Amino acid sequence: MEGLMDGVYRDEASLRFLHPVANRDRNVRKHAFDAIVKTVETWLTGYATPFNSLESISSVNGIGGNIAIGKLQERVPDFLRLLVECPFKDLRDKTKCLLDDLKKKGKSKGLKIPKRLNNVSFFIPENKIISVDTKDEQTQMLFIDAFIQNNRLDHITQVMGYHPHYLDCFLRTQQYLLRGDGPLPYHYRHYIAIMAAGRHQCSYLVNLHTQEFILAGGDPSWLSGLHTIPQKLRDLYEINKILAHRPWLISKDHIAKLTKGKDNWSVSELVHALILLSHFHALSSFVYGCGITPEVDHEGGYTYSGKSSPSNSNSASKHSSPSSSFSESGGDLGIDVLMERMKKLTESDEINDMTSEELLQQFENVENQSAEITASANIPTPRKDVLKFVVEPDFVYQDFAKRGTPCDIPSFRAQEYSWEDHGFSMANRYYSEIGTLLDDKFTCAYNLTYYTLGDKMNVDTTMFRRAVWNYIHCMYGIRHDDYNYAEVNQMLERNLKAYIKTVTCYPERLTKKEYDSVMREFKHSEKVHVNLMLLEARLQGELLYSLRAVMQHMT
Ligand SMILES: CC(C)C[C@H](N)C(=O)O
């Protein structure tokens, strides 16, 4: 039995390592695929009841550990399901045939073929999503890149496919953070991703990186929860928690504490970790903000019952809570009104007449108003499998305006510590190249425009986009003193502010109803665009606080 298990087990591991199949070279792909076909055929014919005997193995040490390895027989079709949606046409077609074959032959052996349960997003109809075999060459290449990097074409990538220029920056940075040169061991990086995603109970990212952690050679016992991990990694938890919800509380003392003592962090390792944490906090916002669905091989992503065909009517859409704090009459501005206001504001040139006190006052107004806006009231019950990676799940965002006195924290002046002048070089110094990669990504997200608004062409949307970006920083207490915050109130109506606040600060609470109720005349690609800005502004906000603390510690 052990021999069989070992054999399948190794194959499983190599299957999961799609690299040879995910190769740009057609011949390499063919070769690798033939090997898979052979493996599957051996499984189907070589043993009397290979799948049944595997079923009795409930847990396997080594690779797999906690990830339902007992369901190995389900994984083969799983894996094939992933390939059905890969960006290589030749492979897709072949896989379809193989799956059909498997369906026929497998039945008599009790083999169950999973069906995809969801589309890519709970919010965006499938026919509006960029298809795997898109004719757009740049996007197609990026999908291939993503497939090669991540061993799959994940739903995040596919949704970001609306914005190829951004996707390019995103994939480059993420690849570097997770698999490039850097001070932290690979399995640490994925575990840190899990810890970060846990702050928002983002099981999508937790599942993805649980698998990656194993593939990177991580010890499966760590997946039973935080109590099993090395002290050094556990020490990171406090800063993870603060950074995710109240980054203004981070001080140089946190950095000092981590960088001294027995199991200490080097400053380089810490900078790597801080960037990973912020990346995955912000990515959790994106996952919820766009209603990303579980992957086909993740819990909630597949079904064995014959009935279900992909639909958008999954959990998230059922969430629509009656007590939503988004008002029905929330007054979605509509594109015409928005354009009208942008035009007026551009002509008025008001900021030149304002004193710095008045500008400060405007900032404080928006900040105080933001504290009055309740985010979504739909508070989900945390899932047990994610909770094991979470300490103090009740520690959540608190309005910056309500931070209270014991430690009266002033707002963060972006002019005194900015990404461009300080954060960027700080990041590069301790973790080479990352500053440049992040900078490209920030610049891309900040400036991205197609000069369109819904169906309208040739529109300068700068003002709207600035308002979104600066509003997010405002919720974190970050102030740009060359910006007139009165514009935020002109550009963003109350429901949209509530949406932005929910997705940035409490993403796990967002419902489909809320997604639908804002930016009604925008295209889905534009709503995703707003979510990209949200991701990046949040990420930058967290980094400004943590890198400033590192700097203060070093000087
Ligand atoms: C988020 C959207 C309002 C962006 C707009 N479509 C543009 O091209 O700038």
pLDDT digits (tens, 9 = 90+) for 409-431: 888 988 889 999 999 999 999 99
**How confident is the model over 64-74, as a mean pLDDT?**
38
* Residue 127 pLDDT > 90: yes
Backbone φ and ψ for 317, nearest 5 degrees, come out as: -75, -25
Task: From the CA of 453, give the closest atom in ligand 1.
Answer: 6
* Residue 380 pLDDT > 90: no
Give the model's pLDDT for residue 550.
97
pTM score of the predicted model: 0.88
How far is residue 79 CA from its own chain's centroid? 22
Give the model's pLDDT for residue 212.
87
pLDDT band (50, 70, 90) for residue 110: low
Active-site residue numbers? Answer: 202
Give the model's pLDDT for residue 267.
97
Which residue's CA is the closest to the ligand 1 atom numbered 2? 526
Give the model's pLDDT for residue 329.
58
Task: From the CA of 450, give the closest atom in ligand 1.
Answer: 8
CA of 163 to the centre of ligand 1 (A): 11
* Residue 20 pLDDT > 50: yes
Q: 426 versus 99: which is more confidently predicted?
A: 426
Q: Where are the alpha helices (DSSP H) in 46-124?
A: 50-55, 72-84, 89-107
Give the model's pLDDT for residue 98.
78
Q: 36 versus 6: which is more confidently predicted?
A: 36
Give the model's pLDDT for residue 57.
31
Residues 462-510 pLDDT 10s:
999 999 999 999 999 999 989 999 999 999 999 999 999 999 999 999 9
Our mutation pick for probing the ligand 1 site, out of 335, 338, 447, 450, counting the most ligand atoms within 8 A of Cβ, is 450
Amino acid at 173: T
Our mutation pick for probing the ligand 1 site, out of 449, 518, 534, counting the most ligand atoms within 8 A of Cβ, is 449
Task: From the CA of 523, give the closest atom in ligand 1.
Answer: 6
Q: 377 versus 72: which is more confidently predicted?
A: 377
Range from 26-35, 164-173, 267-276, 493-502 carrying the lowest mean pLDDT: 26-35
CA of 280 to the centre of ligand 1 (A): 25
Give the model's pLDDT for residue 542.
98
Our mutation pick for probing the ligand 1 site, out of 338, 453, 459, 536, counting the most ligand atoms within 8 A of Cβ, is 453
Q: 209 versus 28: which is more confidently predicted?
A: 209
Amino acid at 170: F
pLDDT band (50, 70, 90) for residue 408: confident
3-state secondary structure of 243: helix
CA of 308 to the centre of ligand 1 (A): 36
**How confident is the model over 255-273, as a mean pLDDT?**
94
Range from 6-10, 111-115, 447-451 carrying the lowest mean pLDDT: 6-10
What's the Cα-to-Cα distance from 142 to each of 136, 208, 529, rounded to whole Å? Answer: 10, 19, 17
Complex confidence, ipTM: 0.98
The burial of 549, by beta-carbon neighbours within 10 Å (0-12 exposed, 13-18 middle, 19 or more buried), is given as buried
* Residue 272 pLDDT > 70: yes
Residues 6+ apart with CB under 8 A from 490: 341, 345, 467
The burial of 35, by beta-carbon neighbours within 10 Å (0-12 exposed, 13-18 middle, 19 or more buried), is given as middle
Residues 43-60 pLDDT 10s:
555 443 333 333 333 333
How far is residue 218 CA from its own chain's centroid? 21
* Residue 235 pLDDT > 50: yes
Give the model's pLDDT for residue 1.
30
Which residue's CA is the closest to the ligand 1 atom numbered 1? 526
* Residue 315 pLDDT > 50: no
Give the model's pLDDT for residue 430.
96
* Residue 14 pLDDT > 50: no
Q: Where are the alpha helices (DSSP H) in 151-295?
A: 155-160, 164-179, 186-198, 203-215, 231-235, 237-245, 252-259, 267-289
3-state secondary structure of 121: strand
Residues 6+ apart with CB under 8 A from 115: 302, 303, 304, 305, 306, 308, 309
**How confident is the model over 389-417, as a mean pLDDT?**
84
3-state secondary structure of 452: strand
Which residue's CA is the closest to the ligand 1 atom numbered 9? 449
Give the model's pLDDT for residue 330.
59
Query: Cβ < 6 Å from ligand 1: which residues?
Result: 449-453, 461, 464, 526, 529-530
Amino acid at 98: L
**How confident is the model over 338-342, as a mean pLDDT?**
94
Residues 6+ apart with CB under 8 A from 518: 326, 330, 332, 495, 496, 499
CA 165 – CA 175 distance, rounded (Å): 16
CA of 503 to the centre of ligand 1 (A): 18
* Residue 377 pLDDT > 90: no
Give the model's pLDDT for residue 399.
87
Percent of the chain's residues with pLDDT above 90: 56
Backbone φ and ψ for 398, nearest 5 degrees, come out as: -130, 140
Percent of the chain's residues with pLDDT above 70: 80
CA of 459 to the centre of ligand 1 (A): 8
Task: From the CA of 464, give the closest atom in ligand 1.
Answer: 3
Range from 78-82, 211-215, 357-361, 469-473 carrying the lowest mean pLDDT: 78-82
CA 515 – CA 287 distance, rounded (Å): 13
CA of 454 to the centre of ligand 1 (A): 8
Give the model's pLDDT for residue 15.
42
Give the model's pLDDT for residue 318.
44
Our mutation pick for probing the ligand 1 site, out of 163, 290, 452, counting the most ligand atoms within 8 A of Cβ, is 452
* Residue 67 pLDDT > 50: no
CB 524 within 8 A of CB 124: yes
Average pLDDT along the chain? 83
Task: From the CA of 527, give the closest atom in ligand 1.
Answer: 1
DSSP state of 423: I
pLDDT band (50, 70, 90) for residue 74: low
Backbone φ and ψ for 292, nearest 5 degrees, come out as: -60, 135
Task: From the CA of 468, give the closest atom in ligand 1.
Answer: 1
CA of 123 to the centre of ligand 1 (A): 19
DSSP state of 377: -
Q: 405 versus 66: which is more confidently predicted?
A: 405
Give the model's pLDDT for residue 347.
85
* Residue 208 pLDDT > 50: yes
